[in-house]
Structure 1
């Protein structure tokens, strides 16, 4: 099989992909994205800040918004989100375990279950958003096996008004594309994630387990497993 290479022996970079230093077109001008490295997209959190400083005054790449700006936008328009249901599969591709994240409430420290969720930021594809948000919550060595198709198993519409839909987010109106992703590597809780717990599908579907997933995430888990034939 023939493979086209560039004059320096490295493979060409996809259009607007963030370049590594040794990529043949690493010097190509990308406007406000000129000084971004691939690691920037992994390090930045889903709630990050914009053109300026993030947590602790650390600079973050364009596409992340400061708290005041994102709060203002959340009050005026829907925000695009992705939700990831992490799973492990066996040698036949059947779901063997389902992962849920344990997080603590900022208000009173109450521990609850949730799924991976985060915004899609400017200049980011859905695939990149999935990988970045997985890395933010579960570390850089999860080796997620992304689905071949980007068709979500459901679309969850979160509203800040209780009762409008089964999905509730007091901060915003969010439209979330929901994906099931097989984690092949090691999951290490990061950022605001205290732990990740893996249970068998029949345990995850038990009413007492689903009751621990608030704000509609229980429905997302059930819909994901149903879509996979569980």
Structure 2
């Protein structure tokens, strides 16, 4: 799962979040809330025509495909967290269409112990609300994303793409595709 960089205000504090040390302690003691977003392009009838996957380099130097993902800050609405991470990863003119009802298509539980669920994050136990979000604007990856690749739903569901997605995000992508009726 992608991590948000700490921002510091004029007083030297990180508003709405924990210091690196406090975050490490919290991660060791309690689940952390995240949002995952599957960016999609839709046609005029609302059918998904393309799925956007980010290309990232992991801490170990491996290249992988990922979804838009990140933490929900203290006192931040889920809608605001979703929009913040979409803008952070896709750029300010991606123009996401977050649905009026924030019903996730699934909830993913990432565990530090492999095999508890299909989702794994060695740093923490995280609970993620997952959404399919249509985007209509110009997407330009930012932050630690190298590129954004648009794939057809069939390409995104392929075994080769799934194998490039760490931590069970390939499973999450397949669930998203099933949710919108796009599994081949």
* TM-score, normalised by the number of residues in structure 2: 0.92
- Which of 134, 139, 161 is residue 182 of structure 1 equivalent to? 134
Does 2:21 match 1:78?
Answer: no
Q: Quote the residue 2:83 is aligned against.
A: 131
Q: How far is the alpha carbon of 1:215 from its aligned partner? A: 1.2
SS at match of 2:25: helix
Matched residues in 1 for 2:167 and 2:109: separation?
A: 11
Q: Quote the residue 1:223 is aligned against.
A: 175
RMSD: 1.9
Q: How far is the alpha carbon of 1:99 from its aligned partner? A: 0.7
Matched residues in 2 for 1:46 and 1:106: separation?
A: 12
Does 2:67 match 1:110?
Answer: no
Q: Does structure 2 conserve the Cα–Cα contact (< 8 Å) formed by 1:139 and 1:189? A: yes
Q: Stretches of 4+ moved more than 4 A in 1?
A: 57-61
Matched residues in 2 for 1:174 and 1:116: separation?
A: 15
Does 2:26 match 1:69?
Answer: no
Q: How far is the alpha carbon of 1:49 from its aligned partner? A: 2.6
Gaps of at least 5 residues in structure 1 are 1-44
Q: How far is the alpha carbon of 1:159 from its aligned partner? A: 0.2
Higher RCO structure, 1 or 2 (CA under 8 Å, sep 6+): 2
Q: How far is the alpha carbon of 1:64 from its aligned partner? A: 2.4
Q: How far is the alpha carbon of 1:59 from its aligned partner? A: 5.4
Q: How far is the alpha carbon of 1:210 from its aligned partner? A: 1.2
- Which of 146, 152, 162 is residue 200 of structure 1 equivalent to? 152
Classify 1:129/1:61 alpha carbon distance in 2 versus 1 (closer, same or farther; 3 Å).
same
Matched residues in 2 for 1:179 and 1:209: separation?
A: 19
- Which of 34, 48, 51 is residue 98 of structure 1 equivalent to? 51
SS at match of 1:196: strand
Larger-Rg structure: 1
Q: How far is the alpha carbon of 1:213 from its aligned partner? A: 1.1
Matches within 5 A, 1:26-65: 46-49=3-6, 53=8, 61-65=14-18
- Which of 28, 33, 42 is residue 89 of structure 1 equivalent to? 42
* TM-score, normalised by the number of residues in structure 1: 0.74
SS at match of 1:155: strand
Q: How far is the alpha carbon of 1:60 from its aligned partner? A: 6.4
Alignment length (residue pairs)? 181
SS at match of 1:215: helix
Q: How far is the alpha carbon of 1:155 from its aligned partner? A: 0.4
